[in-house]
A and B are shown apart, each in its own frame.
Chain A
């Protein structure tokens, strides 16, 4: 009797001690004091459990659904892995701003370095048609401004004498009574008429460098001058002066080169890529190094020329040059405004460029952002063109993107995703291929390997692959509509399918 009592007492003590040992204060308390209704598998919201733990299919931690309504899966449609939810307070705190993807006609400016050259059409050269020597010179030097007809200097050329003589003779002949000439029965052909002959001699004189002004003088005075005077042919600037006092010159030597600089050319180098955007008629602004200007310019009708040495294109701009601010060989900065067609663009900071993968975060409403893979086109200054992946009006994260991306990657990791996700055709959830391979939840069908989140899904698929594959496209489309950007999401979905 006593022994039994003792044994019972001992057993009681032991069990009491054991129970007390098992119970730890505070062990069962969840985060905060919120009441947990049940736990769900974040990827399969249909799976519910009363106790925390891991999901039976993918081994993920079950997420609690609280009585106050905050739960992991609103709606019930599986969200892509890496979805981030962010309330307004946190957004403000971390400087996450939301913008929209807009179609804009982007114009951006190409900043180029140009070199001023004289307009080829406004350059005049005075050069020697025969050998001779310089007699007299004005004080015009290189860089001097000259007026049209301004005397520049005189040269002596032995060869001019016969030409001058011929001209005077021709003039004399011309002066004879034309009737007398007819009377004497001279047959005058068109080519050899005295007028013609005088004209010929004038041209000959001009070719030798005798100016029109001197020829006119000669006609009046009929006196053969010793020297030939040189006059400026246009208003302009002396670009080159090839003469000096008493200088002998060879035939062909250049005395003066004079250019009119009312309009000048600016030549600028372009890379191949930029060259494709430059069209004749585009407007540009030219500024001088000191900040003078700007002057209006326009891309001339001539297509850019290619410079093989530096493998660049040269574009020519025609610039109005009042007051000759621009001088030849000056370097100027050219802002070439390049207009582009309307394109869907987002701010540069909105795109996370991981090299192979460019991601934009799109709001799905209620402060939930999902990563969207996009393809980018050109950079347009502060914006970048989105070729694929977004629709106009999509609300996207435009600053603080790095932090959203970090969070997204952590979320994706929490969902067991690493690298390229693949979509489970059965439940629509994103699955890490490598993991599925390791777990053996893959299935070969029609030459493709499908990955599944669980053995259960794999079996469903293996039973009737066609039945699973067909409706899944419909699901994708309906999902796209759900979120009000059918285009972007559809494309996204399409790519996902393609990757499957």
Chain B
């Protein structure tokens, strides 16, 4: 079948070339048009249910959040439901199972929500959030004013009523959230004394304001053949319009207007979030939230184009300053990958050229690589995979192995052509080549398929790790499969077109000589090839020595494997390899109940410190929440995005080469160990510098942090969730944990949320007193709400802008406890007023500030930030400590969450994935060799590679992570491949010797083995070298995304090296022992004894046992 394909390709060469050219063009187009991203979209499918109700958190929790959470728990495919109840807001996040379509999930949410909605209290406004998540915060800008003529309210109006709509209209943008500045508001500030004097209840003012702001329509009027639309112009459009609203008339008919009982001003609306730029103070900022599943780069490009277009409409001096721009990260990581891919291509090509020393032959694998890469972009794009660090890394780690089939084919034809030449060129060269190709074609085709198949279990990873590594597995396997197909189609066709043996002989000589070298070349036998001759010369004594000291070699190898175990055990573990995003997210928490002014002060102080670092480009801080349902942060949580300058601008740090290396070496050495301060050191310094009192610091990176918040609700890599029924008890447990954990090594900070420590002013009505004045509680409450709370009564319409109108007491009459006691409650229809203190007691208490609800249970978080420690090891140590020291009351449970949760899940999955991979490979090996012994010998490559892999990881100080495991899985496949090649040539030599009847003594066996091992070093070394050298540029890479790729490539690099070296040394020894004990020994004995016929018979039966 495969041979027929080869035949067909060879016969229809030009068809193959044409097809390849067309496909390459398609691949090129796909590559140019594939969507770019930094990392795959990792967000869970999530639907946000946002409810607004101006009540305290406990009321919101009991009456809104809890019913919604419990209803959503029953919805299909829901994985987790998290609820947050804050002052005035209820957020419910329903997280759906992997792969659930967001729009499907949204309609299920609506269905289940509809059963709860009628039961919610009056005045609760519930809506479903945008089809986006906090992960969609791709672009953040600040509005600055250089002219100094616009105040924050005006800038905010520009943001709210001009920029927002323009940007929201950009395809892919779900929402544009405003942050900072002041929303404009009309405020009717009342003097309670005047209200009392005029006998006007506050409710009357509210009614008047509400009723005094509305247009009416009087339909149409026809006059003189024209129709006139009748309008009643009642809209209030200015402060004066509100001031002139009449409240009542006194007996003689003199009206009492709003201005008689207070004044109307334009002031700031209630703020729940504040922004700060570089520590310079409050600033207006906008966050572009991308729709889930959109491509960030495209969206950002469109947003930028739109900004360029609309910025002309901004007042002079006002500028939109981009602060956080994810496209920079995407571009940076793409640059890294692009250069790495090119480096890989070039080095692999060089290796091939060097080893074959024959340009026309080398061209085949060299052409195969880019063609395979280009072609793999076609299905890649069709499958909707974006080009990101992961998917391109898949291609990068595959390249070395892509050419294996081509190399084997080329090498085989070389060998055959050598023989053919030696034998004086019998028959046509075409047949020789074809038969050589056919000889190894199917093997190499299957070898590549095996490599691909052995990587398939990676697809079994689930959730976040699955989303991260599946693209890598797809692209790697796609490239492999395509390369395998090319190996039997394009390669034979090229082979026959390019191999010319007739020397070019024309004048001028200076032209024909290089052309000859380029197009025809001279096929050097392996023995005369400079590189392989040197290698062979070095290897020969080694293999001879290894055969002499078999036990020492085997024992040494076993000892090395054993010695690796403690190193393996000492490796830390983490969930995901870190991706250096080039910006930091600094997230301090403080106690709940912080006022917005204090939060602003805190934000400004920390931003100013951070801005002082020379590595820092811009600092944009946020306290509280942006105007979006994707942000449930209370004021006590600060979030500061710190964008860093490129590392070249960082402070220099001493490293081992800075003292002596001449300047021209620096760019090279910098790749080995950077000479700028490391980002860990930078974060440590920043953490030290912003050690403000009253806050607990946490550091992460924007994407990483948001992914974690999304998947676990925690803002730190590790955290503890305490679930129970009483908030106070949860808080108590939390503070105990806070006291216990710093003793565990690696704790940077621990912060238990003080869920129960918000400040409240409780107005408790005295029902007797109310009864005395004939007041209903509701009436009294309404006064309280209007007088202090400052309800938004109505909205003004000014062009596109809308501003709320608010009625309440003047500040002095509601600013402190005493003043509150004097709030006048109208009785007897407003004729008399009674002080609030007569009707109720007012006192301060503490209570829940923000309530978390996870799957219906009250939950408190303890955030743990780590430095210099692997999360998993930390959690194991810490949970042991907690088990010992933290007695849990009945009905309370603590669970570790954050990365740990994901790591546990991944570890669970890997426990089955790795053995399955191993089993799959063994099966394939067995299918290939049909011999348990050979399978076992090949499988020895696994422990051998483990040595290098583990020690290399150890030397680089890498933690075990899913990325490393994926690298190890890829390594398993490579092991099998190299092992098979090693054994292949030993077997071939052995068979040759056996057929020649030379195997009559131990020395003869040694010679056969040495021949097989050393004389055929070239193909083995080439396949190893291309794969190995193909990975080196990845290890060499610096820049964004390199760290992630390095984690995958590191075990492969280390493992390949040791497995190759040990295979070279140990395989001959083991092979000798195997062959000696099973066959040759008996053979020799028989020969020495008498039964020569018997020995002959046994030899005949061998081929089947050996099983090619």
Q: What residues make up the interface of A, taking CB atoms closer than 8 Å to B?
A: 2, 6, 9-10, 13-14, 16-18, 20-22, 24-27, 32, 52-54, 59-62, 84, 86, 90, 93-96, 111-113, 115, 269, 271-273, 309-312, 331, 333, 348, 353-356, 379, 400, 402-407, 409-410, 412-419, 434-435, 438-439
Give bound CA distance, A60 to B555, whole Å: 49
A355 and B846 contacting across the interface, CB-CB below 8 Å: yes
B996 within 8 A of A: no
CB distance from B291 to the nearest CB of A (A): 38
Contacts A403-B693, A413-B752 given; indicate if A435 touches B736 (C-beta within 8 A): yes
Give bound CA distance, A435 to B193, whole Å: 52
Beyond A10-B555, A18-B563, A403-B598: 14 further Cβ-contacts under 8 Å?
Answer: A17-B567, A21-B567, A84-B693, A93-B605, A331-B193, A348-B816, A354-B846, A355-B845, A379-B818, A402-B593, A417-B735, A418-B732, A419-B732, A438-B887
Query: Chain B: which residue is nearest A307 at the CB level?
Result: B832
A94 and B556 contacting across the interface, CB-CB below 8 Å: no
Give bound CA distance, A412 to B734, whole Å: 13
CB distance from A60 to the nearest CB of B (A): 6
B601 within 8 A of A: yes
B193 and A112 contacting across the interface, CB-CB below 8 Å: yes
Give bound CA distance, A261 to B693, whole Å: 63
Give bound CA distance, A16 to B736, whole Å: 41
CB distance from B780 to the nearest CB of A (A): 15
* Secondary structure type dominating chain A contacts: mixed
Question: Contacts of A355 on B, CB cut-off 8 Å?
Answer: 759-760, 843-846
A413 and B555 contacting across the interface, CB-CB below 8 Å: no
Query: Chain B: which residue is nearest A401 at the CB level?
Result: B598
Give bound CA distance, A113 to B813, whole Å: 13
Question: Contacts of B594 on A, CB cut-off 8 Å?
Answer: 402, 406
CB distance from A343 to the nearest CB of B (A): 16
Which of A400, A402, A405 has the largest number of chain B CB atoms within 10 A? A402
Which of B565, B691, B835 has the largest number of chain A CB atoms within 10 A? B835
A402 and B694 contacting across the interface, CB-CB below 8 Å: yes
A379 and B694 contacting across the interface, CB-CB below 8 Å: no
Question: Contacts of A273 on B, CB cut-off 8 Å?
Answer: 821, 837
**B746-773, CB under 8 A of A: which get 1 and which 0?**
0000011010010110000000000000
Question: Contacts of A18 on B, CB cut-off 8 Å?
Answer: 563, 566
CB distance from B608 to the nearest CB of A (A): 8
Q: Which 4 A-B pairs have the closest CB atoms?
A: A17-B563, A406-B694, A113-B193, A21-B566
Question: Contacts of B957 on A, CB cut-off 8 Å?
Answer: 24-25
Contacts A22-B570, A354-B844, A405-B591 given; indicate if A410 touches B559 (C-beta within 8 A): no
Question: Contacts of A86 on B, CB cut-off 8 Å?
Answer: 693
Report B565-587 residues with CB < 8 Å from chain A CB.
565-570
B552 within 8 A of A: yes
Question: Contacts of B555 on A, CB cut-off 8 Å?
Answer: 6, 9-10
Query: Chain A: which residue is nearest B760 at the CB level?
Result: A355
* Secondary structure type dominating chain B contacts: helix
Question: Contacts of B731 on A, CB cut-off 8 Å?
Answer: 418
- Contact partner of A21 (CB less than 8 A), chosen from B193, B569, B739, B816, is B569
A–B Cβ pairs within 8 angstroms, 10 of them? A2-B552, A26-B868, A93-B692, A94-B692, A311-B838, A312-B834, A379-B817, A406-B594, A418-B732, A434-B732
B740 within 8 A of A: yes
Which of B595, B693, B846 has the largest number of chain A CB atoms within 10 A? B693
B693 and A6 contacting across the interface, CB-CB below 8 Å: no
- Contact partner of A413 (CB less than 8 A), chosen from B564, B739, B832, is B739
Give bound CA distance, A2 to B827, whole Å: 108
Question: Contacts of A312 on B, CB cut-off 8 Å?
Answer: 834-835
Give bound CA distance, A403 to B600, whole Å: 12
- Contact partner of B556 (CB less than 8 A), chosen from A10, A17, A84, is A10
B932 within 8 A of A: no
B954 within 8 A of A: yes
Give bound CA distance, A402 to B636, whole Å: 11
CB distance from B296 to the nearest CB of A (A): 36
Contacts A14-B562, A22-B570, A60-B743 given; indicate if A94 touches B835 (C-beta within 8 A): no
**B598-624, CB under 8 A of A: which get 1 and which 0?**
100110010001000000000000000
Contacts A21-B569, A403-B693 given; indicate if A14 touches B739 (C-beta within 8 A): no
Interface size class of B (residues with CB under 8 A): 35 or more
A24 and B570 contacting across the interface, CB-CB below 8 Å: yes
Query: Chain A: which residue is nearest B558 at the CB level?
Result: A10
A418 and B692 contacting across the interface, CB-CB below 8 Å: no
Give bound CA distance, A435 to B605, whole Å: 37
A113 and B738 contacting across the interface, CB-CB below 8 Å: no
B73 within 8 A of A: no
Question: Contacts of A27 on B, CB cut-off 8 Å?
Answer: 745, 868
Query: Chain B: which residue is nearest A20 at the CB level?
Result: B567
CB distance from A41 to the nearest CB of B (A): 11
B742 within 8 A of A: yes
B590 within 8 A of A: yes
Contacts A10-B556, A403-B602 given; indicate if A410 touches B759 (C-beta within 8 A): no
Give bound CA distance, A90 to B692, whole Å: 7
Question: Contacts of A93 on B, CB cut-off 8 Å?
Answer: 605, 609, 692
Contacts A60-B739, A355-B845 given; indicate if A403 touches B732 (C-beta within 8 A): no
Give bound CA distance, A418 to B738, whole Å: 11
Question: Contacts of B695 on A, CB cut-off 8 Å?
Answer: 403, 406-407
Question: Contacts of B735 on A, CB cut-off 8 Å?
Answer: 412-413, 416-418
B694 and A115 contacting across the interface, CB-CB below 8 Å: no
B905 within 8 A of A: no
A271 and B193 contacting across the interface, CB-CB below 8 Å: no
A410 and B551 contacting across the interface, CB-CB below 8 Å: no
B194 within 8 A of A: yes
Give bound CA distance, A24 to B593, whole Å: 43
Query: Chain B: which residue is nearest A410 at the CB level?
Result: B696
B196 within 8 A of A: yes
CB distance from A67 to the nearest CB of B (A): 19
Report B937-996 residues with CB < 8 Å from chain A CB.
954, 957
B197 within 8 A of A: yes
Question: Contacts of B567 on A, CB cut-off 8 Å?
Answer: 17, 20-21
A94 and B590 contacting across the interface, CB-CB below 8 Å: no
Report B546-564 residues with CB < 8 Å from chain A CB.
551-552, 555-556, 558-560, 562-564
B738 and A13 contacting across the interface, CB-CB below 8 Å: no
Query: Chain B: which residue is nearest A268 at the CB level?
Result: B193
- Contact partner of A415 (CB less than 8 A), chosen from B194, B564, B739, is B739
Which of B563, B595, B692 has the largest number of chain A CB atoms within 10 A? B563
Give bound CA distance, A310 to B839, whole Å: 11
Give bound CA distance, A183 to B822, whole Å: 81
B358 within 8 A of A: no
A22 and B566 contacting across the interface, CB-CB below 8 Å: yes
B645 within 8 A of A: no
Question: Contacts of B595 on A, CB cut-off 8 Å?
Answer: 402
B885 within 8 A of A: yes
A17 and B739 contacting across the interface, CB-CB below 8 Å: no
A310 and B845 contacting across the interface, CB-CB below 8 Å: no
Query: Chain A: which residue is nearest B834 at the CB level?
Result: A310
Contacts A22-B566, A419-B732 given; indicate if A379 touches B556 (C-beta within 8 A): no
- Contact partner of B197 (CB less than 8 A), chosen from A60, A115, A406, A407, is A115
CB distance from A1 to the nearest CB of B (A): 13
Contacts A113-B193, A355-B846, A410-B696 given; indicate if A379 touches B816 (C-beta within 8 A): yes
Contacts A17-B563, A18-B566, A406-B591 given; indicate if A94 touches B605 (C-beta within 8 A): yes
Give bound CA distance, A16 to B559, whole Å: 11
B833 within 8 A of A: yes
A17 and B602 contacting across the interface, CB-CB below 8 Å: no
- Contact partner of A59 (CB less than 8 A), chosen from B593, B743, B757, is B743
A6 and B551 contacting across the interface, CB-CB below 8 Å: yes
B887 and A6 contacting across the interface, CB-CB below 8 Å: no
CB distance from B251 to the nearest CB of A (A): 12
A331 and B566 contacting across the interface, CB-CB below 8 Å: no
Question: Contacts of B759 on A, CB cut-off 8 Å?
Answer: 353-355
Query: Chain B: which residue is nearest A355 at the CB level?
Result: B845
- Contact partner of A271 (CB less than 8 A), chosen from B754, B835, B843, is B835
